[in-house]
């Protein structure tokens, strides 16, 4: 597919965000962003220590957070607002109230009918990361990664106004769909959904995945012995976006 205007805008913003300006000017940019967006920097280094706006976006925690070590507890993969949740019924889920979509289309054509069938009757939850949130994502439970598919697409905003007016927004946007299996043998999907100004979605366990690049067709990655633990950092959005877990 040809690059959409939203991709070009996101790439342009990415170039600005990645540029390392002279320290005095970068300090102004970073401090202005923190103030404008209302970032809580209590768990992070001072804004003027980040050499680019993107390094501020993708900041890491100074100290690991505490979370339940109970294997049966499923933790949130990110800091976010939960925009919708519910049960998958007749292959439908909600991007927001009144706007439903087919889960099969979200997962894409590179998963078999058998692989997709595991989510029917299961639950879905949408995690929306605003530009003020911590942008890194973490593993929600001890798991094995079975498969990942990078699906090129558009970069529409994923805020509430956009979710309310654009049907199938999650399906139109670029995404990375990850099929996982818990230690109890339950399968689920984590779907990283792009958004406007999200130039990159990093996936640390598979560096070959390069989003908002020159890829025009879905790319499939199979895994045999990739195990990740609850709380592990596995990448980040370079700006706010959405994670859908089904």
pLDDT of residue 72: 83
Cα–Cα distance for residue pair 18/146, rounded to 1 Å: 32
Q: Note the pLDDT tens digit of each residue in 18-55.
A: 789 999 999 999 999 999 989 999 999 999 999 998 89
| Position 149 in a domain | yes
- In the block, which residue shows the tokens 């299961």? 122
Contact 57, 135 (CB under 8 A): yes
| Position 221 in a domain | yes
Structure tokens at 177: 């769909």
How many Cα atoms within 13 Å fall on the side-chain side of residue 112? 3
pLDDT of residue 5: 55
The DSSP 8-state label assigned to residue 47 in this structure reads G
Query: Is residue 241 among the annotated active site residues?
Result: yes
- Residues of the chain short of pLDDT 50, as ranges, are none
| pTM greater than the 0.85 cutoff | yes
| Position 26 in a domain | no
List the domain range (segments joined by +) for residue 236.
69-245
Which entry of 10, 133, 138, 150 is annotated as an active-site residue?
Answer: 138
| Position 88 in a domain | yes
The DSSP 8-state label assigned to residue 48 in this structure reads G
| Position 104 in a domain | yes
Cα–Cα distance for residue pair 76/176, rounded to 1 Å: 18
Which entry of 7, 10, 83, 241 is annotated as an active-site residue?
Answer: 241
Indicate the number of domains in the chain.
1
Q: How far apart are the first and last CA of the chain?
A: 27
Which entry of 79, 83, 150, 194 is annotated as an active-site residue?
Answer: 79
Cα–Cα distance for residue pair 23/25, rounded to 1 Å: 5
| Position 123 in a domain | yes
| Position 6 in a domain | no
Structure tokens at 45: 């280094």
Helices (H), the chain: 5-18, 23-37, 53-57, 103-107, 113-117, 160-165, 169-172
Indicate the average pLDDT of the chain: 90
pLDDT of residue 8: 53
| Position 80 in a domain | yes
pLDDT of residue 199: 61
Cα–Cα distance for residue pair 57/6, rounded to 1 Å: 20
């Amino acid at each position: 597919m040809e690059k959409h205007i939203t991709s070009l805008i996101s790439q342009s913003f990415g170039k600005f965000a990645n540029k390392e300006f002279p320290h005095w000017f970068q300090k102004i940019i970073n401090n202005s962003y923190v103030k404008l967006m209302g970032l809580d920097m209590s768990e992070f280094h001072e804004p003027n220590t980040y050499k680019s706006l993107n390094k501020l976006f993708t900041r890491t925690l100074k100290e690991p957070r505490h979370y339940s070590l109970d294997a049966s507890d499923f933790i949130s993969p990110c800091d976010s607002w939960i925009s919708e949740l519910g049960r998958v019924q007749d292959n439908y889920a909600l991007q927001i109230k009144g706007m439903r979509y087919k889960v099969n289309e979200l997962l894409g054509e590179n998963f078999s009918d058998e692989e997709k069938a595991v989510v029917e009757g299961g639950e879905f939850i949408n995690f929306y990361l605003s530009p003020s949130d911590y942008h890194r994502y973490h593993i929600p439970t001890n798991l094995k990664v079975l498969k990942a598919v990078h699906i090129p697409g558009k970069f529409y905003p994923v805020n509430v106004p956009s979710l309310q007016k654009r049907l199938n927004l999650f399906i139109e946007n670029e995404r990375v769909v990850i099929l996982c299996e818990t230690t109890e043998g339950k399968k689920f999907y984590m779907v990283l959904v792009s958004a406007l100004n999200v130039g990159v979605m990093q996936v640390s366990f598979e560096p070959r995945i390069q989003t908002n690049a020159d890829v025009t067709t879905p790319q499939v990655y199979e895994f045999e012995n990739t195990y990740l633990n609850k709380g592990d950092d596995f990448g980040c959005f370079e700006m706010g976006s959405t994670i859908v877990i089904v």
